[in-house]
Structure 1
Amino acid sequence: MSPEEIAVRAGQQIEFLRLPPDDLFAVREARLRQRAHEHAMRDFLLFAADIAHAQHAAFKTFPAVTLPDEAALDAAALAGKPALPAALWPRDPQWIVSLRGMLEQMLPTLAAQPAARDVVDKVLHMRDQEIEQQADRLLNNIMFGLDLATAPLIAAGLQVYWTHLVTAVQKTHGANRVAPFGRTDDATRCPCCGSLPTASVSRIDGDGHYRYLHCSLCSAQWHMVRIKCTHCETTKGIHYQSLQSAEDEGPAEARKEAIEAETCDECGHYLKIVRMERNPHVEPVADDLASLTLDLLVSEAGFQRHGINLMLLFGEPDDPDPDANRSRGH
């Protein structure tokens, strides 16, 4: 067993779930702008930072929407299911109102980026039904018929909506129950909305370093012990891959990267991990986007990604084969 598993069995309390903070999108924006400096993907990272800026404003002013009641929360807990399942939850029309407000706020900042402005304009001119159809494909991980260009913008609106849902449920029901959200039957998916993680983060908390998976949709983080595959949950054949310059000098420990790919020989999957003990400023979504080269190299080695980053999707949207229609995010 890992030291963390021993500690858990000894009765030590580790916070299972960490809900997104109020400044979630502002922190993400700051990290994206930091990583964009002299980066090969500078323009895209800055565009993603502009999206995060608009998300922060939308999150702060998000209107009241329908939330699950106590009975629905109890039913989900008894069934071992997330209370706000991404693929099944009836979306409130306010999420599209919020999305349009975000995009209108972004337009003035994109004068020097005609390609990005065209994509924003495209979503603004889509009918609500078209946006909902794209949202359904995103939330069900279906590539067929998905517009890859507009997907990050629509996903951004969905992220704000689900982040609001999760935090609003906590504020509304948190005082009346032990916890509105608890453990579910699938430990590899978000216990709040059932989505895949974008990455995991090794946090610096109190008396130790604990690994949490970071939800790609609502940004909740849930605990999973380290050195354990986030796809098949085995502890065998786990390795860590990272990018390192051949010019780096100094002790090996000092040269360890803050972003690594945790690969599993047993199932052939991987998920990136960002380590706060090596860089306290890492942010899972931002650093995942900024380390695309690592994804490409690990994929070339034969590993398949377990998680997804809704800000950058890859796939073959015109492939009619249903077995090949699942989205793959890097």
Structure 2
Amino acid sequence: MNSSPTHRQINSPEDIKQRSGLEVPPLLLPDPGKLFAERALRLRQLAAGHAMRDYLMLMAVVCEAQHARLQQYPEVTLPDAAQAAAAGESGEPLLAAEHWPRAAQWRTELRALLQQVLDKLPADSPARVGVQAVMALPDAALEQQADRLLAGITLGLDLAAAPLVAAGLQLYFTHLVAATGAARPQAFQVPPDATRCPCCASLATASITRVGGQQDGQRYLHCALCSAQWHMNRIQCTHCLATQGIHYQSLQALADDKPSAQRAAVEAETCDGCHHYLKTLHVARDLHVEPLADDLATLTLDLLVSEAGFERHGVNLLLLFGDGDAQAGGD
């Protein structure tokens, strides 16, 4: 692996515009039957020989517990017709996470999820202490941490506990979005060039270029919270929507004349205009890529791109950085 990113400038965005007459699905809702199971499997694959092996394996156990809980998630209140209509008129995401009144079940299911994680961890695992600490948090403290996490506020957020709290929120909002989509097929409107999730208003973790059928060669942004995917044209900044000054950087130093299958499956799409970036994953180069798992496993790319002066547009709730607070669990 090369220690510095390689750059690939693409000068003709028109070359990969949508095919004439092709109806590309604007929104792909999460599939509760396989989402977290596939993420867990990919994390286990990536963990082999990885410098972050222990953490990737821990997150794999968390995702396996998420999958198990999602298959029997209790009923929660879904948006009614009036709420759906109001969201449609305003153009705002129907289930905007920062403002949606969370059902109490999210806390119950989080604790059940963490108990399953605890049951799978070895007796001598250092992660047990952190899992038990989150399970023991009072409801008010959990809600406070959830509010900060969903608002993107790291000050006062317990950064060590955040991925576990986020696991419960991911579970809840994935169920909420999937159930709402099943009950009201037209509930979610996808505005042109949406930079946030049209379902829950969260940031993306990464974008993914898909293969097969109507989605072949199309780029979708993958929500960090509910895992919905929404379409965005390729070679376009996901932060400022610019189509010029876009570059691709990877950890593999490969020649441009080699076929795309030999290029890196994970690249950072950087923008010279706003100096933001978001990773993009190419399924054609690796059929097993999974946005949150592969993003987490390519942290070195984030470090190198950040050192070059670019700021990340998205977020990965499996690992957060920022200004935490020793008193994060209290007032």
TM-score (normalised: structure 1): 0.90
Map 1:109-258 onto structure 2 (within 5 A): 109-174=120-185, 179-184=186-191, 187-206=194-213, 208-244=216-252, 251=258, 253-258=260-265
CA contact (8 A) 2:260 2:285 kept: no
SS of corresponding position for 1:114: coil
Say how many residue pairs are matched. Answer: 311
Deviation at 1:253, TM superposition (A): 4.2
Runs of 4+ with >6 A deviation: none
1:143 and 1:6 map into 2 onto residues whose CA distance is 38
Q: Does 1:20 align with 2:30?
A: yes
Q: Is the 8 A contact 1:2 1:226 kept in 2?
A: no
Deviation at 1:317, TM superposition (A): 2.0
Q: Which residue of 1 aligns with 2:60?
A: 49
CA distance in structure 2 between the aligned counterparts of 1:93 and 1:254, rounded to whole angstroms: 46
Structure 1 pair 254–83 and aligned structure 2 pair: CA distance change class (3 A)? closer
Q: Which has the larger displacement, 260-269 or 204-213? A: 204-213
RMSD over aligned CA atoms reads: 1.8
- Which sections of structure 1, spanning at least 5 residues, go unmatched? 320-330
Larger RCO of the pair (alpha carbons < 8 Å, separation 6+)? 2
Q: Which residue of 2 aligns with 1:328?
A: none
Q: Within the alignment, does 1:313 sit opposite 2:325 as a pair?
A: no
What residue identity is the alignment partner of 1:63?
P
Give the whole-Å Cα distance in 1 for the aligned partners of 2:85 and 2:204.
24
Report the CA distance shift for 1:254/1:104 in structure 2 as closer, same or farther (over 3 A): closer
Q: Which runs of 5+ in 2 are unaligned?
A: 1-12, 327-331
1:18-50 CA distance string (max 9 Å, x none): 011121000000000000011111000000100
Distance 2:261 2:74 in 1: 47
Q: Does 1:286 align with 2:297?
A: no
The match for 1:2 is: 14
Q: Which amino acid aligns with 1:316?
A: D
Q: Distance in 1 between matches of 2:77 and 2:261?
A: 49
CA distance in 2, matches of 1:186, 1:254: 28
| Equivalent residue, structure 1, for 2:84 | 73
* CA deviation map 1:212-264 (0-9, x unaligned): 00000000000000000000001010000001268x9x946453010000000
Do the aligned partners of 2:158 and 2:325 also contact (CA within 8 Å) in 1?
A: no
Aligned residues with identical type, % of pairs: 55
Say if 1:100 and 1:124, in contact at 8 Å, map to a contact too. Answer: yes
Residues 211, 110 of structure 1: CA spacing in aligned structure 2 closer, same or farther, 3 A cutoff?
same
Q: Deviations over 1:271-321 (max 9, x none)?
A: 0001001011100000000000000000000000000000100111249xx
Q: In structure 2, how many angstroms separate the alpha carbons of the residues matched to 1:71 and 1:36?
A: 46
Separation in 1 of the partners of 2:111 and 2:18? Answer: 49
Per the alignment, do residues 99 and 283 of structure 1 end up closer, same or farther by CA in structure 2, a change over 3 Å counting?
Answer: same
Equivalent position SS for 1:204: coil
- Report the Cα distance in structure 1 between the residues aligned to 2:18 and 2:133, rounded to whole angstroms: 53
